Structure 1
Amino acid sequence: MENKNEYLLALLDKLGSPLAIEDFRAIVDVLLGKSELFLGLEDLRDKLLFSIREKIYDYVKTGTLVDNSFINLWQLYKNANLPKKEELDNFIYLFEKQYRLYCYDEKEKFIFLHLTFIFKILNGDVDNSLRWFLGEHIYFHGQKYHEMDNQTQALKDFFSKISLSFDTLSEAISAALQRYFEVSKEERLGVVTWILGLYWNYGDFENHPLWKSKIYGVLLKLFEKCTLEEHIEEKMSLHFLMSHIYLNRAQTQEEFALFNEEVEQNATVFYEKWALQHPLTQAKKHSGAKHKIALLKDRIVENSPFKVEFSLLHVLLSEKEFVDKYEVYVYSMALIEKSLDDQKCIEKLEKLGVVVRQVAFESLNLYGYFQSHFTRALAIYDDMQKESIDTAILATNNFPIGSFLFAARCAPKQIFWSHGNFAYDIKGIDKRISHFHRENPYTYERFDVSILDEFHKPEEEKHKAMAKEIRKRWSEDIVVLGSIGRLVKMDNDEYISTIAQILKENPNTIYLACGSGHEESIKQKLVKYDVPMDRFFFEGFVNAHVYGYVIDVYLNTFPEPSGEAVGEFLKKGEDKFVVSLEA
């Protein structure tokens, strides 16, 4: 204790003498890295923090700006007990005013925000200033996000150091969104970019339940207030963000139906009205030799929907009768917010004879991070009219581009192809089809698709060898149970309690949860149902072709089943079994 006391007194003495900003920063870094020095020495801590505050005030007053790293002082000042400094309140007022009015350079505006936050911390407004600081970041210009990578990485480091909770973040975002219509259009359109780019991708915040329970409702109210035709960009931007937040946690058809009622119905009425008020070329049946069919996809990547669609097209386009009568197009919506199109998948489609259209991607502003859903939708719509598309098949759902295209009537005949969401019901659907067979309130034309072996068993021997190595983690008499896919589908009490019962009654079994997201929520349920953690393993995002050979029995998720993953698993061999459970 005596040594700590002497050390801190020496630092206090240094702070009382003239210091170059570099030497001052070095002292601050020492204190930030050794906060345990203050234990039992709170009075001395406050004297040091008082001196640091005075030093920063003097630097700024004489024209020396402190850099963004000083936001980390929040860790030291959160428990400080200092009197307010009136002169700092004046600084805060001036900096915040300058921040609000500044519109020339986003990086400089960023600096004003950080300086204001630093002074608020120094003057004791710790908790409120943190929420304000977090909330303000959603309003930076979306086009400038890519230019600020270093700053956003520094912010994520700050979040880690202060152990930022999602409760605090959700309060900050919810409060900041209250002034959504008070900011410029560019700032409104930046909301999606900054929320997904900065906050969604931080730590374990991806798919956190509070996105849906606390933030979705606030976004929905803003979405409903976008009623003017000039709000089309904001409407589609919020539509995409809500789809991302809500549907990443949705498990049931009832949840899909609620999203359809709250968002899709509202959106497509707006999109239809916009299309009627603007001179879009009306879709007409053309008199060409072949009937043109366009498959509309969010992006072209080798995911489960692609494997189903490609397998079906492979069969159809090998039939001369079909080829003589039909021409097939595939349009990518270029949702680069999720991922880029896969060139190998595009080449596979083209080898089949499919015409792949990437006009949405060609419409993007590749020098910016924010991308317009509206611009992409119009690019696809116009190209479909130019190509005289007869039938459009929407092979995705709940994205604004697809909903806009159907509401605006992009083709004479419009078909929705469900890959699992049977509650999607928007303006412009003439017919519904699906390769799934399940009860729902709408009329679907059913068909079966046999997935090509090239998707089920690529590099079969290599994957079997990799699976054999993984199986060495357990003894040979162990039966490996598991499931593959988004963990949201297993994150419910009914499924986890059933797994608990199976493991209890079968001591020679283990369970592998193969997928990402929701880990903490599932762990809480595992504790609740007394599932031993040495028999339940989170494998993370896995190669399904490898783990299809690792797992012996696939325990299908419920109430929302696993989808194409089950079929892929069964193709791994005759010794593979799927058990479909019921609540």
Structure 2
Amino acid sequence: MVETPHSRFLDLIENAHTKQELRALLLSIVSYLLKTQPLGHADIVSYLPIYERLFESFRTKILGIFERGDILDCAFLYLAFIAPSTLETDERFTPFIESVQKLLETQPSQEEYIMLIELGAIARVLANPSSQNLSFFNTNIDKYDKVDEKSLDGVMFFLSRIMCASIDGLSAGRCGEFLLELFSIRDVGFAYVKPAVERAYIRAHHFAQAPLLVRNVCNWQLHILWNAQNLFNNREWLCLYPVWREQFYAALERVAQALRGIDDSTDMPPALAQWLDLALYMQFFIYHICGNSFSKQEQWQSFNIEISQYATPIYREFATKFLPHLPGLDSASHSSKGRKVIGILRDRFVENSPFKVEYSLIKNLLANAEFKQHYEIRIYCMSLVEKSENNPEAIAKFAALGVETIDIGLSFNKAGFYNSHLQKALALREIMLKDEVAMLISPNNGYGISDFLLASRCARVQVFWTHGNFVYDVDGIDARLTHICNNQKHIIHNGFSFCGIPVQMDRSFYNPNVPQELVANARACYVDSSAKQPLRLFGVIGRLVKIDSLSYLEAVCALLERNSNWRFLACGLGNEGEIKQKISQINPQLLSRFFFSGYVDSAVYGHILDFWADSFPMEQGESRIEYVAKGRGLALRYYTMSAKELESTLGEQLASTQETIEMIIDECKCTKNSDTKAEQLESTIELARALDSRLFSDFASYRELALGFARETSAFSVAEYVEKATHIMRLCELDSSEYARKVAIQSALHAMSSEIKARLGVEYFLAFAREHLA
């Protein structure tokens, strides 16, 4: 009989005596199987007798280790991968399983707890090989359907119990690394994760320190499981939303019960503070995970009703009983001395799209004499370290503008992932009251801390600034504003009235100077510049959830089939695995022409895309505008409205800004005689070039140009999207001069829009401030 690697493992285990030797052998076996398993299930099943003998040898040797009082780490749970479903139960491990069960009820220390669940989990694998759902030999298609509390699955036992432990500590770190690896090398989906999470929450409530244990369960999900390759930013996380909502409601009910039994003179009970802190954290947790998967206003509306509107009355009642009221709420003298403070509440300091928009508006406002005379801006930061650390460079940008930043995380985040969201909220509110914030602008739509601050009233005027969620609505919002307004002063989104604040983006964000070498090196990662037939790139930059649309991916695949010299580039983080599955369903041969680049520097990657094929039905937003600003290639958009409706809307928008457009055109005609630095007049210079090229000469010709270009670069059905994209791609390949002319038109239209925003944004915001802070 020819010796195979499988049979060689039998020889190796005979010479493995220490737990270190057994561990190394087990890992090498699993590594080999992971490499060869794609060859087919029948291949490994044919070696079942070998693995029966191997598993029996592991049983005998590990039993000896246990009987000597020694322990093993969680890496031995990889035995579940090679557990033969044909072997009988081994009762020799029952005493260890029963002993672990009893000791777990004694509330052991953190290190003892982890040691016990490792022992109990490994003993379950060895005792019940036929019940191991992750085994290569488990042929049951519906094998996860029976995974529950009574399951003898060792990994399930481990997963559902480790989540009740603190995420801090060396042992927890080691277990976290194991789970990250486990969920990255095996296609284990949420049918396995969901019951483990459910049981972990149930178990957490068995103990007096339930709020802390529930926080533990959340931490393991957010900081370990969420980051596993097969689970990262996966939309299937939404299947756990009802479970999280139940935990959120349970915490709020404990708060409500405590409040009902308290009179105005009672000090805050510690238990009340613990449950309220958990509620605030749970709201953040649900918002963060669900928000990464939401793609429709209807989803945000359900979240608003079931989470924010459910919680804010309880937050307000707590504030009424325990917090000082906002002084001078109805008094005009409240803001009569000095400049009025306008506060902006941020989740953290990172240079994402919301930061870039807010920074640009603030910079534009501070360049206005009237604004500086009457108002000052302060930025209050929740410092949600669970999302990410603050970026010092982002803070430095505000400091360079002379804007004061209040970073509440400097003290509270020393507790890491166990920082108190309640203490942060109370501290922020106290600082805001002390600073006499006249207007609080919250560009947040569902965090526990931000909802608490609005519900408890921190400023005379409280404003919601949306970056895309138009349906957020809680008590405490006095006005709404948005930069997503098409240069309109007032705009209706989903039935809510918003004050429009056009924002001219800072050049450092949209089109910074980038060395061509960086661009060339980035492009070389995807195309061979020396190829006989030049290859071109199209794609998008942004969260991958936005391209996780079957209709959009079908359109992209159709474009790749029609255009053999093009490659699609998906830049951003998210559910890459799910998207690849959809592509495989459409046409698996196209997978090699899809590139998933992860998080990228848009300043560089915006220059390597030859064509921007915007996603639908969820659009890309600011990242698309940033691409257009670079003048690199054309961008095609998909609209859910009809062509007639779009033309009517654009016509009305142009008419409403006609006076401003005419003023800009007149000024551009004088640009050649201006001695102002070109950098300060970048948009004006671009428009002057357009005038020289006779793209337009007055408002009428500009209107005709804008409407005509919109017709060429807008699609209203998937079929039309594919046709227009194909035309753009062929134009890019076959007529570079005409393509460059189209890009020049796009750049001129963008430059005009930027100039309009520069003039109207500050004007509209000043009018908004005067109206609400009179």
Question: Aligned pair 1:411/2:459, yes or no?
Answer: yes
**CA distance, structure 2, for counterparts of residue 207 and residue 561 of structure 1:** 18
For residues 171-570 of structure 1, what are the structure 2 equivalents within 5 Å? 171-183=195-207, 184=209, 185-212=211-238, 214-226=239-251, 227-229=253-255, 230=272, 231-282=275-326, 284-285=328-329, 286-287=334-335, 288-366=337-415, 368-437=416-485, 439-462=493-516, 463-466=518-521, 469=524, 472-473=527-528, 480-504=537-561, 509-530=566-587, 532-570=590-628
Compute the displacement of 1:539 (Å): 2.9
**CA distance, structure 1, for counterparts of residue 24 and residue 405 of structure 2:** 57
Partner of 2:101: 96
Contact 1:360 1:377 in 2 (8 A): no
Q: Which has the higher contact order (CA 8 A, sep 6+)?
A: 1
Compute the displacement of 1:265 (Å): 1.3
**CA distance, structure 1, for counterparts of residue 594 and residue 11 of structure 2:** 53
Compute the displacement of 1:32 (Å): 5.3
* Residues 146 and 392 of structure 1, relative CA distance in 2, 3 Å threshold: farther
Q: Which amino acid aligns with 1:408?
A: S
* Residues 78 and 406 of structure 1, relative CA distance in 2, 3 Å threshold: farther
Compute the displacement of 1:562 (Å): 1.2
Q: Which amino acid aligns with 1:559?
A: P
**CA distance, structure 1, for counterparts of residue 451 and residue 236 of structure 2:** 26
Compute the displacement of 1:545 (Å): 1.2
**CA distance, structure 2, for counterparts of residue 119 and residue 204 of structure 1:** 27
**Residue in structure 1 matching 2:83, options 77, 81, 84:** 77
**CA distance, structure 2, for counterparts of residue 34 and residue 508 of structure 1:** 38
Q: Which amino acid aligns with 1:247?
A: G
**CA distance, structure 1, for counterparts of residue 9 and residue 70 of structure 2:** 26
Summarize deviations over 1:452-478 as a string: whole Å, max 9, x none: 111122233445544664675366765
Compute the displacement of 1:38 (Å): 8.3
**CA distance, structure 2, for counterparts of residue 119 and residue 236 of structure 1:** 39
Compute the displacement of 1:390 (Å): 1.2
**CA distance, structure 2, for counterparts of residue 522 and residue 181 of structure 1:** 37
Q: Which amino acid aligns with 1:73?
A: L
Q: Which amino acid aligns with 2:579?
A: I
Contact 1:236 1:373 in 2 (8 A): yes
Contact 1:481 1:553 in 2 (8 A): yes
Equivalent residue pairs, number = 574
Summarize deviations over 1:416-442 as a string: whole Å, max 9, x none: 001111111122110000000273210
Q: Which amino acid aligns with 1:141?
A: S
* Residues 14 and 510 of structure 1, relative CA distance in 2, 3 Å threshold: closer
Q: Which amino acid aligns with 1:113?
A: I
**CA distance, structure 2, for counterparts of residue 359 and residue 107 of structure 1:** 32
Compute the displacement of 1:120 (Å): 0.9
User: TM-score, length-normalised on structure 2?
Assistant: 0.69
**Residue in structure 2 matching 1:113, options 117, 122, 125:** 117
Q: Which amino acid aligns with 1:581?
A: Y
Compute the displacement of 1:388 (Å): 1.4
* Residues 13 and 406 of structure 1, relative CA distance in 2, 3 Å threshold: closer
* Residues 217 and 386 of structure 1, relative CA distance in 2, 3 Å threshold: same
**CA distance, structure 2, for counterparts of residue 13 and residue 149 of structure 1:** 32
Contact 2:441 2:464 in 1 (8 A): yes
**CA distance, structure 2, for counterparts of residue 90 and residue 429 of structure 1:** 60
Greater Cα shift, 474-483 or 311-320: 474-483
* Residues 30 and 318 of structure 1, relative CA distance in 2, 3 Å threshold: closer
Compute the displacement of 1:354 (Å): 0.9
Contact 1:329 1:355 in 2 (8 A): yes
Summarize deviations over 1:87-125 as a string: whole Å, max 9, x none: 522221111221232333x12211111001011111105
Contact 1:145 1:369 in 2 (8 A): no
* Residues 576 and 21 of structure 1, relative CA distance in 2, 3 Å threshold: closer
Compute the displacement of 1:506 (Å): 5.2
**CA distance, structure 1, for counterparts of residue 111 and residue 279 of structure 2:** 27
* Residues 11 and 449 of structure 1, relative CA distance in 2, 3 Å threshold: closer
* Corresponding residue SS for 1:329: strand
Contact 1:207 1:518 in 2 (8 A): yes
* RMSD, aligned α-carbons: 2.9
**CA distance, structure 2, for counterparts of residue 153 and residue 276 of structure 1:** 45
**CA distance, structure 2, for counterparts of residue 448 and residue 539 of structure 1:** 32
Compute the displacement of 1:415 (Å): 0.2
Partner of 1:133: 158
Greater Cα shift, 68-77 or 458-467: 458-467
Contact 1:481 1:551 in 2 (8 A): yes
Contact 2:114 2:172 in 1 (8 A): no
For residues 19-30 of structure 1, what are the structure 2 equivalents within 5 Å? 21=19
* Residues 34 and 446 of structure 1, relative CA distance in 2, 3 Å threshold: closer
**Residue in structure 1 matching 2:177, options 133, 143, 153:** 153
* Residues 481 and 558 of structure 1, relative CA distance in 2, 3 Å threshold: same
* Corresponding residue SS for 1:532: helix
* Corresponding residue SS for 1:473: coil
Compute the displacement of 1:406 (Å): 0.6
**CA distance, structure 2, for counterparts of residue 280 and residue 110 of structure 1:** 44
Compute the displacement of 1:190 (Å): 1.2
* Residues 308 and 117 of structure 1, relative CA distance in 2, 3 Å threshold: same
**Residue in structure 1 matching 2:127, options 86, 99, 123:** 123
* Corresponding residue SS for 2:413: coil
Q: Which amino acid aligns with 2:373?
A: D
Summarize deviations over 1:194-242 as a string: whole Å, max 9, x none: 1111111111311112211x21121112222221223212212221221
Partner of 2:649: none
**CA distance, structure 1, for counterparts of residue 559 and residue 51 of structure 2:** 56
**CA distance, structure 1, for counterparts of residue 298 and residue 278 of structure 2:** 27
Compute the displacement of 1:547 (Å): 1.9
Summarize deviations over 1:28-51 as a string: whole Å, max 9, x none: 566656669986564564344334
Contact 2:308 2:446 in 1 (8 A): yes
Contact 2:297 2:469 in 1 (8 A): yes
Q: Which amino acid aligns with 1:117?
A: A
* Residues 79 and 197 of structure 1, relative CA distance in 2, 3 Å threshold: same
* Residues 436 and 60 of structure 1, relative CA distance in 2, 3 Å threshold: same
**Residue in structure 2 matching 1:56, options 52, 62, 87:** 62
**CA distance, structure 2, for counterparts of residue 119 and residue 410 of structure 1:** 55
Contact 1:466 1:546 in 2 (8 A): no
